[in-house]
């Protein structure tokens, strides 16, 4: 082969190597479409990535009845001896991600209820585990919902509410009359006596 052709061939390859990276820099790649995009929806649905398994804890107060208040979920990894705390959402569930393969202890506590415990053994990655915990009412707890408020007759409740309205407007005589009428109906009620 003639040496002139070798020089021309080497120059051609050298020019191709210089031009290829420059063209890659001027033509950006087209972004990949989100596979969860809904054409009629508000936009892409947020997706979450996790390196390990995930856990969904559902908290009940009776069989089949979701807990009516927020609960705290403590997750304790028995291998690493690391604890993490999470709170339940409105649906009485807590979602926890990035679980490694290990045995875990799940502890759930809520105001007015005894603490619930369960064990979980994560054996595979990229799997969702579910734990349902039923909390028992604590007999020593203070009742947050006043049971006496439902027992007051409706006529006395109306008199109390009207008396409060009269007090706010500065009409003390009418407020005293309404409270006296409510006291005659339910003399042992703490709201009226207050």
Contact between 57 and 96 under an 8 Å Cβ cutoff? The reply is: yes
Q: Which of 146, 157, 148 is nearest to 181 (CA)?
A: 157
**Whole-model pTM over 0.75:** no
Domain 53-134 has CATH 1.10.287.130: no
Tens of pLDDT along 13-29?
Answer: 655 655 555 444 444 44
Q: How far is CA 97 from the centre of its chain?
A: 13
Give the residue-averaged pLDDT of 147-156.
68
**What pLDDT sits at residue 62?**
76
Q: What is the mean pLDDT of residues 97-116?
A: 93
Rounded distance between C-alpha atoms, residue 187 and residue 113, angstroms: 33
Question: What is the percent of the chain where pLDDT is above 70?
Answer: 67
* Residue 161 DSSP SS3: helix
Q: How far apart are the first and last CA of the chain?
A: 113
55-80: average pLDDT: 91
Beta-carbon count within 10 A of 100 CB = 14
Count CB-CB contacts under 10 A for residue 163. 22
Lowest-pLDDT choice from 24-38, 43-57, 144-158: 24-38
Q: Where are the domains of the chain?
A: 53-134, 148-193
Give the mean pLDDT of the chain: 77
90-99, 139-148, 168-177: least confidently modelled range: 139-148
pLDDT tens, position by position, 152-190: 788 888 888 888 888 878 888 888 898 888 888 887 776
Q: Residue with structure tokens 């006296």?
A: 180
């Amino acid at each position: 082969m003639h040496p002139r052709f070798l020089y021309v061939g080497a120059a051609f390859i050298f020019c191709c190597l210089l031009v290829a990276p420059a063209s890659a820099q001027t033509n950006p790649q087209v972004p990949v479409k989100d596979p969860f995009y809904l054409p009629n929806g508000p936009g892409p649905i947020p997706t979450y990535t996790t390196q390990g398994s995930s856990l969904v804890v559902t908290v009940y107060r009776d069989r089949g009845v979701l807990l009516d208040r927020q609960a705290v979920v403590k997750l304790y990894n028995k291998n690493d001896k690391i604890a993490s705390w999470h709170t339940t959402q409105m649906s009485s569930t807590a979602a926890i991600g990035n679980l490694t393969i290990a045995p875990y202890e799940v502890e759930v506590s809520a105001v007015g209820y005894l603490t619930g415990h369960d064990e979980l053994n994560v054996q595979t990655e990229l799997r969702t585990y579910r734990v349902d915990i039923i909390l028992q009412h604590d007999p020593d707890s203070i009742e947050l919902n006043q049971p006496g408020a439902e027992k007051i007759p409706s006529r006395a409740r109306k008199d109390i509410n009207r008396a409060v309205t009269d007090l706010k407007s500065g009409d003390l005589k009418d407020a005293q009359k309404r409270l006296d009428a409510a006291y005659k109906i339910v003399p042992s009620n703490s709201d009226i006596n207050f």
